[in-house]
């Protein structure tokens, strides 16, 4: 089976993790700051906080922005559920902004219309979470300008987009946002097994996120309420969590980060090759915004008769997946008042979407195999569609006796 995504682990990565296991620190040692320094260098952000997942990073980001009961968080339906759940963790309400039907990221026009309506109703969100779907940045200049105009804070969910660029600058520099979040799950661009990072240029937000990733406990003299009586002393000044990343994860991440540009360049080469291979097949290829250099976490295509094409690909050794079932159609969110029909662009995209294999280690031979099986699947699907179109007519024309159960 050719999977849709896969980590790329080198001997150097393995040696880096082994060195940690032989060292004094398995947690809270030098590897986490080293990994954070690599993220700061790659993004240009002033602060980077490593945590145990992007989900945790989204949670501490929302807490740092004081999201709470009575507040609203808006994200897109075309994302993993974590982009929305972070709002619920904080006791806030969640709503969605539909996507652009071509680029599948938050549509600034839909955002503007919704902000205008929300202002009229006195229900502006506190936080919006655009998602850089498939590795392509949302239109952050437009979204950032709207956020400033309406006094809304912005968390970028860049789980797919480490190494991507927007208007020539690295995603994660927070030029148009308060905080940017990355995931290092093994299917993403760079991995720490499980892991996440939040970047920001705001020292106050960085300090708050640091508190919240580790129990709300601090030894920082500027945060202590009492004078420290000695070296053992710490205070809990907020309710935090244990979201810390281990040293093994951080060492793996720091080692992987040395290959970030190569990973993203390779994904772009493979995506361009898919663009050429698939050009004549009856499917929709992903559209790139000219402002964007995608990290190409995913290569999502759209096809007719998706379920059949998907099953054919899986049955023939191509490990495809679908990104994403619109979050508002999940039972958890339907129970909060959402229903199918609420966000038509995300739903129309989802109904035809398939993510085909894309990862740094994918070979051209693998890609050719994906192309051949996909071509066969689309042909089989056309035949299937015709026979399904014909068969009800044959059935209706058949005499009733044909169906009599004797």
Which residues contribute to the site for ligand PLP (CB under 6 A)? 53-55, 79-80, 82-83, 131, 157, 159-160, 183, 185, 196
Output 2 or 327, the one with its CB closest to ligand PLP.
Answer: 327
Residue 247's CB is within 10 A of a number of other CB atoms, namely: 24
Distance of CA 275 to the CA centre of its chain: 22
- Pick 355 or 367: Cβ nearer ligand PLP: 355
Instruction: Supply the minimum distance, in Å, between the C-beta of residue 181 and ligand PLP.
Output: 7
Contact status, residue 78 vs residue 350, Cβ threshold 8 Å: yes
Query: What's the angle, vertex CA 170, arms to CA 104 and CA 183, rounded to 5?
Result: 65
Q: In the complex, what is the shortest distance from the CB of residue 90 to ligand PLP, in angstroms, rounded to a whole number? A: 16
CB 131 → ligand PLP: shortest distance, Å? 5
Tokens of 314: 């899986």
Q: Is the peptide bond before 324 cis (omega within 30 degrees of 0)?
A: yes
- C-alpha–C-alpha distance, residues 370 and 367, integer Å: 5
CB nearer ligand PLP, residue 252 or residue 378: 252
Considering only CA atoms, give the Rg of the chain. Answer: 24
CB of 196 to ligand PLP, least distance (A): 5
β-strand pairing of 127-129 with 72-75 = parallel
Residue closer to ligand PLP, measured from CB, 79 or 137: 79
Q: Give how far Cα 246 sits from Cα of 42, 183, 211, 355, Å.
A: 21, 15, 17, 31
Token reading at 23: 């060292």
Q: Does the CA dihedral 275-280-286-289 come out positive or negative?
A: positive
- Nearer to ligand PLP by Cβ, of 86 and 301: the residue is 86
Active site residue 109: no
At its nearest, how many Å lie between ligand PLP and the CB of residue 74? Answer: 15
Q: How far apart are the C-alpha atoms of 277 and 75, rounded to whole Å? A: 34
* DSSP string across 179-208: EEEEE--TTSSS--SS-EEEEES-HHHHHH
Q: How far is the CB of 322 from ligand PLP (least distance, A)?
A: 13
Pair type for strands 93-96 and 179-183: unpaired
Compute the least distance from the CB of residue 323 to ligand PLP, in Å: 8
If the CB atoms of residues 57 and 174 are measured against ligand PLP, the closer one turns out to be 57
SS3 165: strand
Q: Which of 109, 114, 126, 188 is catalytic?
A: 188
Give the closest residue to 185 by CA, choosing from 293, 52, 61, 62: 52
Separation of alpha carbons 381 and 312, rounded Å: 9
For 193-216, b/e burial (b = at least 16 CB within 10 A) is bbbbbbbbbbeebbbbbbbbbbbb
Which of 268, 321 has the CB closer to ligand PLP?
321
| Residues belonging to the active site | 188
């Amino acid at each position: 089976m050719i999977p849709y995504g896969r980590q790329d682990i080198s001997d150097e990565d393995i040696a880096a993790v082994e060195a940690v296991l032989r060292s004094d620190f398995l947690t809270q040692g030098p590897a986490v700051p080293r990994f954070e320094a690599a993220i700061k260098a790659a993004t240009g952000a002033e602060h980077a906080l490593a945590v145990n997942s992007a989900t945790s990073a989204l949670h501490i980001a929302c807490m740092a922005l004081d999201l709470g009961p009575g507040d609203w968080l808006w994200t897109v339906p075309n994302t993993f559920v974590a982009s929305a759940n972070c709002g619920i963790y904080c006791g806030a309400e969640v709503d969605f902004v539909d996507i652009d039907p071509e680029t599948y990221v938050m549509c600034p026009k839909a955002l503007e219309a919704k902000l205008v309506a929300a202002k009229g109703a006195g229900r502006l969100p506190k936080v919006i979470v655009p998602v850089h779907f498939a590795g392509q940045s949302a239109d952050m200049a437009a979204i950032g300008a709207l956020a400033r105009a309406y006094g809304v804070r912005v968390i970028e969910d860049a789980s797919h987009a480490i190494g991507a660029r927007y208007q020539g600058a690295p995603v994660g520099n927070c030029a148009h946002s308060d905080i940017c979040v990355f995931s290092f799950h093994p299917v993403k661009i760079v991995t720490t097994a499980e892991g996440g990072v939040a970047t920001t240029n705001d020292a106050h937000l960085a300090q708050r996120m640091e508190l919240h990733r580790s129990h709300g406990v601090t030894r920082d003299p500027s945060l202590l309420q009492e004078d420290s009586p000695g070296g053992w002393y710490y205070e809990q000044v907020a309710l935090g969590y244990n979201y810390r990343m281990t040293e093994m994860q951080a060492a793996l991440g720091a080692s992987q980060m040395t290959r970030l540009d190569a990973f993203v360049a390779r994904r772009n080469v493979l995506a361009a090759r898919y663009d050429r291979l698939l050009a004549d097949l009856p499917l929709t290829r992903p559209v790139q915004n000219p402002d964007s250099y995608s990290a190409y976490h995913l290569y999502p295509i759209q096809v007719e008769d998706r379920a059949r094409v998907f099953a054919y690909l899986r049955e023939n050794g191509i490990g495809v997946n679908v990104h994403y079932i619109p979050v508002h159609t999940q039972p958890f969110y339907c129970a909060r008042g959402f229903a199918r029909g609420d966000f038509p662009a995300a739903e129309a995209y989802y109904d035809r979407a398939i993510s085909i294999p894309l990862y740094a280690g994918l070979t051209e031979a693998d890609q050719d195999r994906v192309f051949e099986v996909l071509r066969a699947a689309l042909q089989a699907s056309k035949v299937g569609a015709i026979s399904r179109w014909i068969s009800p007519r044959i059935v209706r024309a058949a005499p009733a006796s044909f169906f009599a159960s004797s």
